[in-house]
Amino acid sequence: MNSAEFLLWVRGPGLNIALVIFTIGMLIRLLEIFMLGRKQNLAELRANGVSAGLRTIFTRSTPADKNSMRRSMFTFVAGYGFHIGLFVVIFLLTPHIQLIQSLLGFGWPALPTPVVDLFTVIALISLMALLWRRLTHPVVRYLSTPQDYLVWAATFLPLLTGYMSYHHLWFPYSWLLGVHILSVEFLLILFPFTKLTHAFTLFISRWYTGMMAGEKGVAS
Amino acid sequence: MNSMQNSLKVEIGGYHTGNIPPLLHEIRHALRNLLDNGETTTIDLRSLPMAPGEQQQLLDILGKGEISVHLDALGKSEITESIYAGVWLIIHYNNNGEVMGKFIEITRVPAILKAQTADMEESLAALQMRLEEI
Amino acid sequence: MSNNKPLGQALREQGVSRRGFLKFCATTASLMALPPSMVPAIAKALESARRPSVIWLSFQECTGCTESLTRSHAPTLEGLIFDNISLDYHHTLQAASGDAAEAAREAAMEENKGNYLLVVDGSIPLGNPGYSTIAGISNLEMLKEVAEHAAAIIAVGTCAAYGGLPHANPNPTGAVSVEEIIKDKPIVNVPGCPPIPVVITGVLAHFLTFGKLPELDHLGRPLAFYGNNIHDRCYRRPFYDKGLFANTFDDEGARKGWCLFKLGCKGPVTYNACATIKWNDGTSFPIEAGHGCLGCSEPNFWDMGGFYNALSESTMNLSRTAAVGIAVGAAAGTASGLLNRRKKSKAEAAHETVSVKDLQREDKS
C-alpha cells in the first residue's frame, strides 16, 4: 500500500466506518440517559429550573472561586489551555470547517492558519504537562486507570500528527495526512465507549444539576 | 478582444512569493564575493518559484546596462549586463526561439563569451588551411 | 544503428562549437534541476558520455506523454536529445511498422543487451492479455521480454508509474503499473498527466550524463523534480495562511487570485515541479491559470474524491453515512432505552411490601 492508497482509504471507507460507529454509539449512549427518567418531583417548585439549568451549563466553565483556583493553578491553566486549544483547532481551521461543511451543509469563517498553529502548540504543551502530572502526582497516579492513558493518547495523536503534517516534519506529507485522519478515526471510534463522552454528557449533567437546584430555589 | 477585456475584470499583480528581496541580497553577496575573492556565481532563475509578474519585476530592478550581446550557438542567446556592473542576465533560446534557461551570472565577463580553447585550436587549423589555399 | 562515439566528439562533428556545448551543459544542468555550479562536472561527464540505446514501449496510454515529450523545449528534442540518445523503438514516432518495427526492437535489444534504457508509457492490463497488444504480443509479455535485459526502466506518465487513468475505479482491464510487474530492475517513475516535458528529458539527460539514475523519493520519483510540494511552492500559499479563499470560480476571491483549496486543489498532497518549472516554456501552470491542482503526479489521482471537493472532505458521501448512523443509532438507542424502562418497571412491579410478619414466617420455615 502506498501513501495515496492509504490516504484514499482513510478519507473514504475509514472515515465512514468511524463516523457510523461514532453516531450510533453516541446516540445509544445519549438516548439511554434521556430515557432513564427521573423520579417524579412531588415538592412544590420554588422557581422555574430552566433558566438556572441553562445558566449552569455556562457558569461551570468559569473558575468557581479564587481559592480553589489558586490551589489547583496547574490543572486550571493546563486544563483550559488544552480545551480551548482543542476547540480552536477542531472548529476554526479551514480544512476542518470544509469537512464539517461537506457533512452538514453549512460552515463558518476560519482563523488564519498561523493562529490555529499557535493554539495547537498550546494544546500539545498542556496535554504533555497534564500527562506529566498524572505520572508524577502520587494521588492522581493512583487514581489513573489504563483508560485514562488510552484516552490521553487518542487525543494527543490527532493534534501531534496534525501539527506534523502542517509543518511537514520528518515524513512525506501524504503519509502524515493519512495518519492524522486515521488517528481522528481512532478517536471517533473510542469516543462513545470511554470517558471522552463527557464532551456531550457534561452539558446534560450540568443542566440537571442547575435545573434541580433552581427548582429548589438554591444557587447551583 | 477589447470588449472581452472590459467585461472580464481580472486583477493581476499584487502577488508576492517574497523571493525578490532575498534574491537581490544573494546577488549583492555574490558581487561582494566577486570583488573580494574573484569568485563568480550563477543563479538559475528556473529553480525559484515566482508569482505572475514577479520575474519581470526582478528584471526591471536589474535594468539594462552598457553591454548587450547576442550569441548564436545552438540557437540564440541574449547576454545583458544589468545597470549593476558585474551582474549579467543570460537567456538561452533554442532553434525554435523557446527559452531553455534563464540565469543571473555575477562575473566580470560571462564564461560563455570568452573564446574557448578547443574552438580556437580548430580555428587555428582552419585559418592555416585557408592560408595554404592562397 | 547506435553509433557509439562519445557525445563531445559527436557534437563537434555536427559542427557544434564549444560555446554551444557549454550552453548545452548549462541548460542541461538547469534541466536536471542541478545547481549551476555543477556545470563543469556535467561538461566533463557529457564530453565522454556515450549515447544510450532507448526502447520506448507504449501500452494502455493516450499518447499524451509522447505529445508532451515531443513539445519539450529542451535543446530541441530532435536536434539534441534524440541525437544524443538512440531511440531505437517507439511505435508512435518511428517510420517502420509491423514486422520491421519489431525487428528493429529485437535488433536493438540484442545489440545493447544489458545496456539499453527502457521507457514505458501506459499501464499494463492483467485482466485479459487481449485488451492491449502490439503486433500480436500482449503488453505483459512484451514488457517482461524487453525489461529482462534493460539497464534501467523509466516509467513515463502516471499510467506507467502508478496505473493512472486505466487503473481508476473500477479498473475494468485490471491495469497495473510497471513496478508491480518488474521487481528486479531499477525503475524511475516520472508521473504526471502528462509529466512536464523537461522533467522527462531531464531524467533522460541525467542518465546520459552520469550513466545512472537520479535519487528517488518514496514513490520512486526523482527528488530533483518531485522533491517539493506544490502547496509549499505555490505563489498563492500566503492566501491559504491568511485564510483567504476562492469559494467559486467567479467570486471576488477567484478574481483576486486567492487560494483554491476549497475548490478542490490537491496541491497539499502533490509533489511535482509545476510551481517552479511551470508549463509551456515556463509561461504558467494550472493554479496560475485559476484552476486547482488535480494531483496528477500522485497515485490514484482519479479516485481522490472529486476534482472539485476539498482535500479534507471525504471521498465518499459523508452526509449519507451520518444519516444512516443517526437512523440506526436512534433506533438502537430507543430500543435500548425502552428495554431499560421495561426492566425498571418490571422490577417495580415485582416489588413486594415486606412486613415484620412475613419475616417472622420465613424464620419459622
**Full residue range of the structural domain in which residue A171 is found:** 145-220
**A136 and A198 fall within a common domain:** no
CB contact under 8 A, C235 and B17: yes
Placement of cell 469516543 in the chain: A191
- Of A120-129, B31-40, C302-311, give the lowest mean pLDDT range: C302-311
**Full residue range of the structural domain in which residue C332 is found:** 318-364
The domain ranges of chain B are: 2-133
- Tens of pLDDT, residues B47-82: 777 777 788 888 888 889 889 999 888 788 899 999
CB contact under 8 A, A114 and C322: no
**C155 and C280 fall within a common domain:** no
Residue C78: which pLDDT band, with cuts at 50, 70 and 90?
A: very low
CB contact under 8 A, C36 and B51: no
Give the pLDDT of residue C191: 92
CATH superfamily, domain B2-133, is: HupH hydrogenase expression protein, C-terminal domain (3.30.1370.140)
Give the pLDDT of residue A185: 92
Give the pLDDT of residue B47: 73
Number of cross-chain residue pairs from A and C with Cβ atoms under 8 Å apart? 147
| C272 vs C102 pLDDT, higher one | C272
Last residue of a domain, one of C206, C226, C246: C226
Residue C72: which pLDDT band, with cuts at 50, 70 and 90?
A: low
Give the pLDDT of residue B5: 43
Give the pLDDT of residue C215: 86
Residue C95: which pLDDT band, with cuts at 50, 70 and 90?
A: low
pTM: 0.76
Residue C71: which pLDDT band, with cuts at 50, 70 and 90?
A: low
**C135 Rama class: left (phi>0) / alpha (psi -120 to 50) / beta:** left
Tell me how many domains chain C contains.
Answer: 3
Distance CA B17, CA B71 (A): 32
B104 in helix, strand or coil? strand
Nearest-Cα residue of chain A relative to residue C331: A28
Distance CA C139, CA C178 (A): 11
Chain B residues whose CB is inside 8 A of the C79 CB are: 74, 94-95
| Distances, alpha carbon C82 to alpha carbons A123, B62, C51, in Å | 58, 37, 9
- Of A95-109, C77-91, C230-244, C265-279, give the lowest mean pLDDT range: C77-91
Shortest distance between the Cα of A147 and any Cα of chain C, in A, equals 24
**A138 and A88 fall within a common domain:** yes
Query: What stretch of H or E contains C276?
Result: helix C274-277
Residues 78-97 of A with CB under 8 A from C: 94-96
Across all residues in chain B, what is the average pLDDT? 81
Shortest distance between the Cα of C288 and any Cα of chain B, in A, equals 7
Shortest distance between the Cα of B31 and any Cα of chain C, in A, equals 16
Chain A residues whose CB is inside 8 A of the C314 CB are: 11-12, 15-16, 99, 102
Backbone dihedral angles phi then psi of residue C254, each to the nearest 5 degrees: -65, -40
**C130 and C215 fall within a common domain:** yes
Please indicate, yes or no, if residue A40 is contained in any of the structural domains.
no
Please indicate, yes or no, if residue C133 is contained in any of the structural domains.
yes
CB contact under 8 A, C23 and B73: yes
Give the pLDDT of residue B1: 37
Residue A11: which pLDDT band, with cuts at 50, 70 and 90?
A: confident
Please indicate, yes or no, if residue A115 is contained in any of the structural domains.
yes
Placement of cell 505529445 in the chain: C67
Residue C75: which pLDDT band, with cuts at 50, 70 and 90?
A: very low
Chain C residues whose CB is inside 8 A of the A30 CB are: 333
Are C197 and C72 in contact by the 8 Å Cβ rule? The answer is yes
Are C269 and C292 in contact by the 8 Å Cβ rule? The answer is no
Residue B3: which pLDDT band, with cuts at 50, 70 and 90?
A: very low
Nearest-Cα residue of chain C relative to residue A95: C312
**C123 and C210 fall within a common domain:** yes
| Distances, alpha carbon C201 to alpha carbons B77, B83, C32, C197, C284, in Å | 21, 35, 8, 7, 19
Residue A156: which pLDDT band, with cuts at 50, 70 and 90?
A: very high
C-alpha cell at C180: 508491480
- A204 at C interface, C-beta within 8 A: no
CB contact under 8 A, B73 and C30: no
Shortest distance between the Cα of B134 and any Cα of chain C, in A, equals 24
Segments in chain B forming alpha helices (H): 2-7, 20-37, 54-62, 117-133
Residue C365 has pLDDT above 70, yes or no: no
Give the pLDDT of residue B20: 82
Residue A187 has pLDDT above 90, yes or no: yes
Give the pLDDT of residue A120: 92
Distance CA A86, CA A97 (A): 14
Pick the closest to residue B15 from B48, B45, B47, B50 (CA basis): B50
Shortest distance between the Cα of A102 and any Cα of chain C, in A, equals 7
Residue A190 has pLDDT above 80, yes or no: yes
**C295 and C207 fall within a common domain:** no
**Sheet arrangement for strand B87-93:** B41-44, B99-106, B87-93, B76-81, B68-72
Give the pLDDT of residue C1: 37
CB-based burial label for C29 (10 Å; 0-12, 13-18, 19+): buried
Please indicate, yes or no, if residue C23 is contained in any of the structural domains.
no
Chain A residues whose CB is inside 8 A of the C240 CB are: 94, 113
**C114 and C260 fall within a common domain:** no
Are C182 and C147 in contact by the 8 Å Cβ rule? The answer is yes
**C331 and C219 fall within a common domain:** no
Residue C36 has pLDDT above 80, yes or no: no
- Most C CBs within 10 A among B12, B19, B39, B46, hence the mutation to make, goes to B46
CB contact under 8 A, A23 and C299: no
CB-based burial label for A64 (10 Å; 0-12, 13-18, 19+): exposed
Are B93 and B99 in contact by the 8 Å Cβ rule? The answer is yes
**C209 and C255 fall within a common domain:** no
Mean pLDDT of C79-92: 64
Segments in chain A forming alpha helices (H): 3-9, 15-34, 49-59, 66-71, 73-91, 94-104, 113-136, 138-143, 146-167, 173-190, 198-215
Mean pLDDT of C204-216: 80
**C220 Rama class: left (phi>0) / alpha (psi -120 to 50) / beta:** left
Please indicate, yes or no, if residue A63 is contained in any of the structural domains.
no
The pLDDT > 70 percentage for chain C reads: 92
Mean pLDDT of C109-116: 83
Pick the closest to residue A205 from A184, A185, A193, A220 (CA basis): A220
Last residue of a domain, one of C170, C205, C226: C226
- Of A35-44, B74-83, C282-291, C322-331, give the lowest mean pLDDT range: A35-44
Give the pLDDT of residue C362: 58
Last residue of a domain, one of A144, A165, A188: A144
Of the candidates C16, C30, C276, the beta carbon closest to that of B74 is on C16
Segments in C37-169 forming alpha helices (H): 39-48, 64-70, 82-84, 98-111, 139-148, 157-162, 164-167
CB contact under 8 A, B103 and C26: yes
Of the candidates C269, C309, C322, the beta carbon closest to that of A19 is on C322
- A200 at C interface, C-beta within 8 A: no
- Of A27-31, C87-91, C137-141, C182-186, give the lowest mean pLDDT range: C87-91
Across all residues in chain C, what is the average pLDDT? 81
Last residue of a domain, one of A113, A144, A175: A144
- Tens of pLDDT, residues B27-43: 999 999 999 988 888 88
**C108 and C123 fall within a common domain:** yes
Highest mean pLDDT among A94-103, A125-134, C340-349: A125-134
Chain B residues whose CB is inside 8 A of the C259 CB are: none
Shortest distance between the Cα of C197 and any Cα of chain B, in A, equals 12
Q: Distance between terminal CA atoms of chain C?
A: 115
Supply the DSSP string of B31-69, one letter for each residue: HHHHHHH---EEEEGGGS---TTHHHHHHHHH---S-EE
**C188 and C246 fall within a common domain:** no
- Tens of pLDDT, residues C10-32: 777 777 777 887 887 787 777 77
The pLDDT > 90 percentage for chain B reads: 19
Please indicate, yes or no, if residue A212 is contained in any of the structural domains.
yes
Last residue of a domain, one of A84, A113, A144: A144
**A219 and A204 fall within a common domain:** yes
**C216 and C350 fall within a common domain:** no
Mean pLDDT of C115-137: 86
Mean pLDDT of A94-102: 86
Chain C residues whose CB is inside 8 A of the B88 CB are: none
Amino acid identity, position C30: S
Give the pLDDT of residue B84: 92
Q: Distance between terminal CA atoms of chain A?
A: 56
The interface predicted TM-score (ipTM) is: 0.75
